[in-house]
Structure formats: structure tokens, C-alpha cells
Amino acid sequence: MAKDNPGDILTCDWNPVIGCQRFSAACRKCWYLDGIFPWQQRLGNIPAQVRPNEAWVFEKRMKVEAL
Ligand code: SF4
């Protein structure tokens, strides 16, 4: 869960799938597509080949690890 700063949203929260498309007027200034996605891609948390409007599954995050 994100605790320390807004950047934790894609590194601490469990987000196995990313990607979205603008479907309505409310999406015009999407904080995710315009801000979070490119920022996290620059940080290397999202692979460079992933496009923001395509669904991307982080296969590694889908695996359950034993405690
Ligand atoms: S994440 Fe952005 S593009 Fe997707 S539904 Fe929400 S506002 Fe729209």
C-alpha cells in the first residue's frame, strides 16, 4: 500500500494490470495517462515497449509467493 509518497502507487500497491483508454470527456485530463504512466515508465517501473492505452499484465505480480 502506498504510504510514503504518491510514487508508491505503482511500486507498493498491487497493480497486476495497467493500461486504459480515454472513453469520455472526463478522461480528457487523465492523471494516470498524462502523469503517472509516463513518469513511472521513465523510472523503469513500466517497460518501455508498453503503450498506455493497451492492457499490460505484470505476470510476475500474478504469482503468489509463500511467506
Ligand atoms: S484512468 Fe484515465 S483514461 Fe482511464 S477511465 Fe480513468 S480517467 Fe479515463
Written as one string, the DSSP assignment of the chain is ---S-GGGGGTTS---EE-----SGGGTT-HIIIIIHHHHHHHTSS-TT--TTS-EE-HHHHSPPP-
31 CA: nearest ligand 1 atom:
2
Average pLDDT over residues 42-67: 89
Is pLDDT above 60 for 56?
A: yes
CA distance 35 to 39: 6
CA distance 21 to 31: 12
Q: Please give the model's pTM, rounded to 2 decimal places.
A: 0.73
Mutate to test the pocket of ligand 1, among 15, 23, 28, 30 (most ligand atoms within 8 A of CB): 30
Q: How far is the CA of 19 from the centre of ligand 1 (A)?
A: 9
Give per-residue pLDDT as tens, 22-54: 999 999 999 999 999 999 999 998 999 999 999
